[in-house]
Every structure is written in C-alpha cells, then in structure tokens.
Amino acid sequence: MFSERVYGRQVPAASDRSPQRLPRGRHGLPRRFIVHNQRERMLLAVAEAVAEQGYATTTVADIIARARLSRRTFYEHFTDKEECFLAAYDTVVEQMLAGVGKAYESGGTEWTRRVHEGLEAFIQYLVDEPAFARMCIVEVVAAGAEARGRRDAAMRVFVDFLEPGRAEAPRGVVVPELAADIVVGGIYEIIYTRLLRDSADELLEMLPELVYCALVPFVGHEAAAVAVRENEARKAAERAAAREGGE
C-alpha cells in the first residue's frame, strides 16, 4: 500500500497504518502518495505512464524506466503489464472509495446531504490527482476485460450510495432499480468526457448540477433543487465561519 504525504508532511510509521485509515486532507483523502518499496514504485510508475501515454502504448519498458527498476524486478512482482495495471488500479480505487465513503458518512442522517458530500469528495479527488483520475476513469475501459470488471465493481459501490434514495421517494412511488445505474453511469460519462478533454476543473463547477441529477429520479424536481440549494448555502456558511475562526 502506498503511504501518504499530507501537505508536505510525511506520515510516520506508514507500515503500521491500515489502508483504510487515511490522513485528513480537505476531504479525508490522501493528497499525494509516497512510495517506498519496489512494488509501490512500479504501481505509481504504471499509473503515471498509462495516464500520460495511454494503456495500449504503455510497455513494461516504460514502467521500469519510470520506476528506475530492472526488468527482472518487474517480473518478480508481476507477470505482465496488465497485472501491474490492475494492482495499481485496485490500490488507488480502494483509497479513493474509502475517502468518498467517509465523506458520505459525514453527511449525517440526511440522504441528500450524504450524496452531496460523497460526490464532492469524489470530484475533488479526481481534480487533485489527475494521473490517478485518468487511470481509473479513462484508461480502465481500454485495458481489457478484467479491468472493465473492476470498474463495474467500483461503480456498484456508487450505486449502493444511491440505493437508500428509493426510500426517499414520495409515498406509493417505486423508483426503478435501473435509475441508480443510469445516474451513476451518466455521471461517470460526464467525468469521462471532461477528463478526455483535459477539463477536470469544469467538474467542480458542475457539482451542484451533478448532485441534482443524482437526486432527481428519487425525490423529483422540487425536492432535488431545494436540497442542492440548502446544501450549497450550508457549505458557504461553513466556509465563512471557518474563515472567521481562522482570523
């Protein structure tokens, strides 16, 4: 597992930390990974190589050149490029999902607020970690059947975050199960196209609209719009209070 550096300060005793325990960044997500063994160096190298040149054209030679390790060392850890890629993907996604899950939980008892917090943490992570974003969102679908399967498993975690929304629907309405799949897939597509165009920053500006889109199949237009407005107002108030407290 990668250990972490938070705001330039290296977290001590990385080996004692469980992967689930993340440093407290803005959203409890890791800010940067520091690698300190050969395997981790190769995981970081494959993530960066794939993000830069695409999965198809990345070779084992590219990975070991970045990691500054020998070909023999590579094959001691992995049988091929795909296995190395999948290991890196799993490592990054596990940490990302842990952070998103924590943000979701921080939303308290209101489901609409939990969705907002979780989605914000997700997008912030993608903006903060462009190489990992590229690997997990864009390259993963070009890296073969196994990688696609891993991506689908990650998407199901997001579907589970929306699942409680079915209980939020007005009385007598049964929201189709496919609604969560469509919304999660649709948000994935929005992110995919923006990363492809190198405009990840747009995603942060879109956050309120994305939250609306996630909520609306469950609660309808009015309730979704109100929830987004209230969440935004509360966040703005919290930021203002934090600024005053800091002065």
Question: Which residues sit at the interface with another protein, rule CB under 8 A?
Answer: 56, 141-142, 148, 152, 155, 169-179, 181-190, 192-193, 196, 206, 208-210, 212-213, 216-217, 219-221, 224-225
Q: Rounded to whole angstroms, how far apart are CA atoms 82 and 152?
A: 17
C-alpha to C-alpha distances, 89 to 8, 40, 175, 209, nearest whole angstrom: 24, 12, 33, 28
Q: Which helix (H) or strand (E) is 32 found in, with range?
A: strand 32-34
Q: By C-beta, is 19 or 186 nearer to another protein?
A: 186
Q: By C-beta, is 65 or 196 nearer to another protein?
A: 196
Please report the beta strands in 104-232, taking only residues with DSSP state E, as ranges in sequence order: none
Tell me if 36 sits within 8 A of 60, measured CB to CB: no
Q: By C-beta, is 87 or 190 nearer to another protein?
A: 190
SS3 state at 3: strand
Q: Rounded to whole angstroms, how far apart are CA atoms 84 and 81?
A: 5
Q: By C-beta, is 35 or 225 nearer to another protein?
A: 225
Q: By C-beta, is 24 or 229 nearer to another protein?
A: 229
Q: By C-beta, is 177 or 201 nearer to another protein?
A: 177
Q: In whole angstroms, how close is the CB of 32 to another protein at the nearest point?
A: 29
Q: In whole angstroms, how close is the CB of 14 to another protein at the nearest point?
A: 36
Tell me if 7 sits within 8 A of 34, measured CB to CB: no
Q: In whole angstroms, how close is the CB of 195 to another protein at the nearest point?
A: 12
Q: 46-77 burial string, b = 16+ CB within 10 Å, else e?
A: bbbbbbeeebeebebebbbebbebeeebbeeb
- Name residues whose C-beta falls within 8 Å of residue 213's C-beta, 6 or more positions apart in sequence: 183, 186, 187
Q: In whole angstroms, how close is the CB of 214 to another protein at the nearest point?
A: 9
Q: In whole angstroms, how close is the CB of 176 to another protein at the nearest point?
A: 4
Q: In whole angstroms, how close is the CB of 104 to another protein at the nearest point?
A: 19
